């Protein structure tokens, strides 16, 4: 039943977490998968080049956070906990790679016969991911999530 005091959109607000989960979860997972597909040792060299201590371990840890965190967010599983290492990865990327290129993530340099040519991305995309993770932590994972299932199970409403 629709609450006559609440605006119609408020009844839809509980679903807001789902599109956030889908884009953030898929984005993190895709980035981790790309690092595996391109060869993890290539990513180790990048991590080493930016001066990260223990580059081999940190590269693999980043890949693991992106893959596992992406899956957790997609499933809506332990969203608040999974967000912690994901935010750490975002902060390191922002401060060690993207900050020097400013804010904008898309920098059109030229349009050639081969198509558009872009410059290096700034911090914009990392901040968008950060904002989405913050919203998920504040909103909760929403319906159709492992977190919602756990909450119903703990409150004895499982199966309703």
pTM for the whole structure: 0.86
User: Domain ranges in the chain?
Assistant: 17-154
> Which pLDDT belongs to residue 113?
96
Q: Which two tokens stand for residue 29?
A: 């997972």
Q: What is the pLDDT of residues 17-35, one digit of tens each?
A: 999 999 999 999 999 999 9
Better-predicted residue by pLDDT, 57 or 4:
57
The residue among 41, 46, 92, 42 whose CA lies nearest residue 66 is 92
Q: What is the pLDDT of residues 134-145, one digit of tens each?
A: 999 999 999 999
Q: Which helix (H) or strand (E) holds 110?
A: strand 108-112
Residue 13: DSSP 8-state? G
């Amino acid at each position: 039943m629709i609450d006559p005091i609440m605006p119609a959109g408020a009844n839809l607000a509980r679903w807001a977490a789902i599109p956030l989960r889908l884009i953030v979860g898929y984005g993190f997972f895709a980035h981790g998968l790309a690092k595996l597909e391109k060869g993890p040792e290539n990513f180790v060299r990048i991590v080493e080049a930016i001066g990260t201590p223990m580059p081999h371990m940190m590269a693999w840890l980043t890949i693991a956070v992106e893959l596992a965190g992406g899956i957790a967010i997609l499933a809506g599983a332990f969203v608040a906990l999974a967000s912690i290492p994901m935010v750490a990865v975002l902060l390191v990327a922002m401060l060690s790679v993207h900050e020097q290129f400013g804010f904008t993530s898309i920098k059109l340099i030229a349009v050639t016969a081969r198509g558009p040519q872009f410059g290096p991305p700034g911090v914009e995309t990392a901040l968008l991911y950060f904002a989405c993770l913050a919203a998920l932590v504040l909103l909760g994972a929403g319906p159709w999530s492992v977190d919602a299932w756990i909450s119903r199970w703990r409150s004895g409403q499982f199966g309703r």
